[in-house]
Amino acid sequence: MDKVYPSVDEAVADIPDGASIAIAGFFTAGTPVPLIRALVRQGAKDLTVICMQMGPGNEDINHLVANKQVKKAICNYPFYRSASRGASSPTEMAVRAGELEMEVFPMGTFIEKLRAAGAGIAAFYTPTGVGTVVETGKEKRKFGDREYLLEEALKPDYAFVYAYKSDRMGNLVCHKTARNYTPEMAAAGKITIAAVESIVEPGQLDGDAVHVPGVYVQRVVKVDRPAYFPSID
Amino acid sequence: MDKVYPSVDEAVADIPDGASIAIAGFFTAGTPVPLIRALVRQGAKDLTVICMQMGPGNEDINHLVANKQVKKAICNYPFYRSASRGASSPTEMAVRAGELEMEVFPMGTFIEKLRAAGAGIAAFYTPTGVGTVVETGKEKRKFGDREYLLEEALKPDYAFVYAYKSDRMGNLVCHKTARNYTPEMAAAGKITIAAVESIVEPGQLDGDAVHVPGVYVQRVVKVDRPAYFPSID
Amino acid sequence: MCADKKLKGLSRELMALRVANELEDGSYVNLGIGIPTLVSDWIEGRDIILQAEVGMLNTGPLATQDRVEQDLINASCQPVTELPGSCYFSECESFAMIRGGYMDTAVLGALQVSEKGDLAGWQNPERGLPEDIGNIGGSMDLAVGARKVIVAMMHVTNEGEPKIRTECTYPLTASGVVTLIVTDLAVISVTPRGLVLEEVAPGVTAEDVQSVTEPRLIISQDLAEIRL
Amino acid sequence: MCADKKLKGLSRELMALRVANELEDGSYVNLGIGIPTLVSDWIEGRDIILQAEVGMLNTGPLATQDRVEQDLINASCQPVTELPGSCYFSECESFAMIRGGYMDTAVLGALQVSEKGDLAGWQNPERGLPEDIGNIGGSMDLAVGARKVIVAMMHVTNEGEPKIRTECTYPLTASGVVTLIVTDLAVISVTPRGLVLEEVAPGVTAEDVQSVTEPRLIISQDLAEIRL
């Protein structure tokens, strides 16, 4: 089962207009930048992107917005902390202009919704967000003496993830805090595309140290290790 | 943060009558036998045990029943497949005599209920069991065009888990299919006790290859590697 | 409903071969306990990845006596081997994978299958245990989670009673999930029109199969001998 | 409500020290963005394990320029270092851990705290974004999940407005979760009776603190200078 694609462009070629795409990465760490750039080149429109941020630590997702490819963003930390930096960000400008729909969830709820989708769970009750704007329009229910919100699974058509190593069968190994969203987004995506720094033959990974079982990954593509200095504004 | 206990007996000494205890292990693999034996010696009564099986592949949990320590068992595969073997099993005899309360869940629901408890999720909707006896008394609800059952979190007072290696801080590394229930039971238990074949100093494990972060483990105790031939009746 | 004569059909091994022929290359497959487990003997070298619900992908053949590892078992607690690309995960992840729709096919045993594709396999009431307890194991999750559910079972019980029923009388594992039934006597597909007899074992006629099957079978226009 | 004079209190570093003194040995702690992050400078060598919500336990001090690893950051996207016993996990596991009650203490920044312990920290309406979006990040999960929530913040806004309020006017992060507030001017505990002024910064009086605090403070019988 050889899942290796020859290039990032071929790996994202079939993404249609209107697709939803989960994109891994916590600020600078573990963001599949080459796949995002390929998607900018590919040009699919009316996309829903599901990712932590829309600029901070990584400008590439903002380029999708600047390129008018994004209809909706589902995030947990979309904006630059600095109001002045935000004022010139394509995402923040598009939101203010009413040109980009946005939905925001607490980080734990955000990733749990993706995890639920991959795990065949339709919905779950979380205590996070009770008594805040997050509860608007959601069912609130008591279990024991505590209130919880009902949150439904969020299943993206595609997932873009990042790994340090993989084999040709799609088993992924991540590195330190670059793991972040990769395992659960990989499981959530109907088609998961992994940008990987190094691809080895089956049998060359330690089966006990695989972070994403290959069954979740449909396409693997080799990319160069990025070089950047971690920081956000 | 040194969590090492000198012996299995000291590790289980404080378990009170009436406690609920999740016990890891898939038939023969990864069952924390020395902890179960210590609990037989310790003698706590009216226990609720939460584990896959009550005999098949491992007789030790049956000894807790034979020793009249168990009030209730929550399982997914409690009985010997062989009716004749089952007829002489303490668990099956106690169930038939009405002396042991038992609740059975599908395997995926069983471990998801424990996972929910560890993850602060009050309840979740699963498609498993719809249209079967499992749905009895449970809320059934449609999401999209499919029906799901509401299942609540199951939080044990204690969890007995098994690992191949750990450090003194409770980070656990499991081995192959002996991993099974250990990670999610460890997270679910209010007090988690890990029986470990080899305990090393902090820094000697690869942080990317830890299966159970130490925060979930309160007590670690060295045990000898068991030797058995995997089989069930 | 019981046949007077005892029909002679395929061996368990050949039933497993017939199931193996049904599996697609490039697919992920879970094999249940019993006859389904034997399917693994027929797929060596094929591009099929087996999942074991204990928490393993790419499960290899059964281990020979000298290669038994106590920490390396399948869901039936048999010692197995690794293949290149095998990996391990927790029980919870294993069932996330199963419920999440990542098994292309599950091959399961059964006590009964109904003409609507209902599956009953986790509890035999004749054992006399309370009706709400028994060895559910992974069967219910596999039955609802797999994209395709194939049942592999003997056509009748040891007492000669039909296991393919108008309605299941035993406790259900799941409703309307089975799409193909492979028995020692026949291959039957479950369709919205009803059960379609697709193939019969050598020396077995459609009438023979009907005689040990409770619901009325639709005979396929392409009825053939079981393809092995 | 605003004080006429600008009160001179603790530096951010000393506020972090005061918070560090509050943490218990043998505890697991998550530090939020801003002043809370500085707490890490005061716990080296202590038996306290820091969690970073990006997916790391036992986060070490900030990395010096020559030791920066791009795959090793904290939740503020600062390069950090490992300690013996550090381990990594996914975002989902990180928040399972947080919601599941495994953080003994979370130290968070805030825009406002109410006298009932309500916390508002994720959105400043003055930025003019729609009221239901903003950078929630991990704050809501930490606020409801941690066993103890300590807020570390400046006592007043840049404009001199009180941040400790009868009711929060900014969007809430969570209700009734804060138990201790450490500011540049005071240490205040949130109790069922109301806010209790426990400690004041050197040269600052209880009256000074009250003058920049909206709700009425109960003066502790043991009122002391901030313990550093």
Residue D6 has pLDDT above 90, yes or no: no
Closest CA–CA distance from residue C87 to any residue of chain A (Å)? 4
User: Which pair of structure tokens corresponds to residue B99?
Assistant: 């002396």
At D5 the pLDDT is 61
Q: Do chains C and D meet with 3 or more Cβ pairs nearer than 8 Å?
A: no
At C90 the pLDDT is 98
Q: Where are the domains of chain D?
A: 12-121+135-220
Q: Is residue A30 part of a domain?
A: yes
- Chain D nearest-CA residue for B202: D85
Chain A contact set for D145 (CB, 8 A) = 108, 127-128
Clarify whether C53 is annotated catalytic. Answer: yes
Residue A142 sits in a domain whose CATH number is: 3.40.1080.10
Answer whether C26 touches A (CB < 8 Å). yes
Give the model confidence (pLDDT) of A150-205 as tens digits: 999 999 999 999 999 999 999 999 999 999 999 999 999 999 999 999 999 999 99
Chain A contact set for D76 (CB, 8 A) = 232
* Contact criterion met (CB < 8 Å) for C136 and B178: no
> Which chains pack against C, by 3+ Cβ pairs within 8 A?
A, B
Task: Give the confidence band of C149 by pLDDT, cuts at 50, 70, 90.
Answer: very high
- Chain A interface mutation, best of B208, B210, B211, B212, highest count of A Cβ atoms under 10 Å: B208
At C4 the pLDDT is 52
CA–CA distance, C97 with C104 (Å, rounded to integer): 11
Kindly state the DSSP code that residue B49 receives in the 8-state scheme: E
Of B168, B187, B208, the CB nearest to D100: B187
Closest CA–CA distance from residue B222 to any residue of chain D (Å)? 18
Of B39, B31, B46, which Cα lies nearest the Cα of B12?
A: B39
Closest CA–CA distance from residue A56 to any residue of chain D (Å)? 10
ipTM for the assembly: 0.97
> Which chains pack against A, by 3+ Cβ pairs within 8 A?
B, C, D
Q: Which parts of chain B sit beneath pLDDT 50?
A: none
* Contact criterion met (CB < 8 Å) for C144 and B92: no
Q: Is residue A228 part of a domain?
A: no
Chain D contact set for A115 (CB, 8 A) = 92
Residue D3 has pLDDT above 70, yes or no: no
Render B75-142 in DSSP notation, one character per residue. Answer: ESS-S-SSHHHHHT-HHHHHHHTT-SEEEE--HHHHHHHHHHHHTT--EEEESTTTTSGGGTTS-EEE
- Specify the CATH class of D12-121+135-220 in words: alpha beta
Answer whether C84 touches A (CB < 8 Å). yes
Answer whether D160 touches A (CB < 8 Å). no
Answer whether B147 touches A (CB < 8 Å). no
Of B119, B122, B179, the CB nearest to A148: B122
At D8 the pLDDT is 87
Give the model confidence (pLDDT) of A30-72 as tens digits: 999 999 999 999 999 999 999 999 999 888 999 999 999 999 9
Give the model confidence (pLDDT) of A204-228 as tens digits: 999 999 999 999 999 999 999 988 8
Question: CA torsion B103→B106→B110→B116, rounded to 10°?
Answer: -120
Answer whether B207 touches A (CB < 8 Å). yes
Per the structure, the complete domain to which residue B59 belongs is given by: 8-222
Of A126, A164, A180, the CB nearest to D55: A180
Interface of C with B in 165-184 (CB under 8 A): 171-175
Of C54, C130, C140, the CB nearest to B129: C140
| Cβ within 8 Å of residue D88, ≥6 positions away | A174, A176, A177, A179, B207, B208, B210, D55, D56
CA–CA distance, A180 with B229 (Å, rounded to integer): 39
Q: What is the mean pLDDT of residues D176-190?
A: 98
Task: Give the confidence band of C2 by pLDDT, cuts at 50, 70, 90.
Answer: very low
Q: What is the mean pLDDT of residues C83-111?
A: 98
How many CB atoms neighbour CB C39 within 10 A? 28
Q: Is residue A123 part of a domain?
A: yes
Answer whether A112 touches B (CB < 8 Å). yes
Burial of residue A100, with CB atoms counted within 10 A of its CB: 0-12 exposed, 13-18 middle, 19 or more buried: buried
- The residue type found at A173 is V
Over its C-alpha atoms, chain A yields an Rg (Å, rounded) of 18
At B58 the pLDDT is 86
* Contact criterion met (CB < 8 Å) for A213 and C87: yes
Give the model confidence (pLDDT) of A99-151 as tens digits: 999 999 999 999 999 999 999 999 999 999 999 999 999 999 999 999 999 99
Catalytic one among D13, D53, D69, D161? Answer: D53
CA–CA distance, A198 with D219 (Å, rounded to integer): 62
Of D85, D97, D102, the CB nearest to B169: D85
H and E: helices and strands count for chain A: 7, 12
* Contact criterion met (CB < 8 Å) for D99 and A182: no
At A231 the pLDDT is 85
How many domains does the structure of chain B reveal? 1
CA distance readout (Å), D120 to A52, D99, D123, D155: 21, 19, 8, 14
Give the model confidence (pLDDT) of D37-76 as tens digits: 999 999 988 999 999 999 999 999 999 999 999 999 999 9
Q: Is residue A227 part of a domain?
A: no
* Contact criterion met (CB < 8 Å) for B143 and A123: yes
Q: Is residue A3 part of a domain?
A: no
Closest CA–CA distance from residue C6 to any residue of chain A (Å)? 43
Report the DSSP beta bridge partners of residue D152.
Answer: D182
- Chain B nearest-CA residue for A109: B121
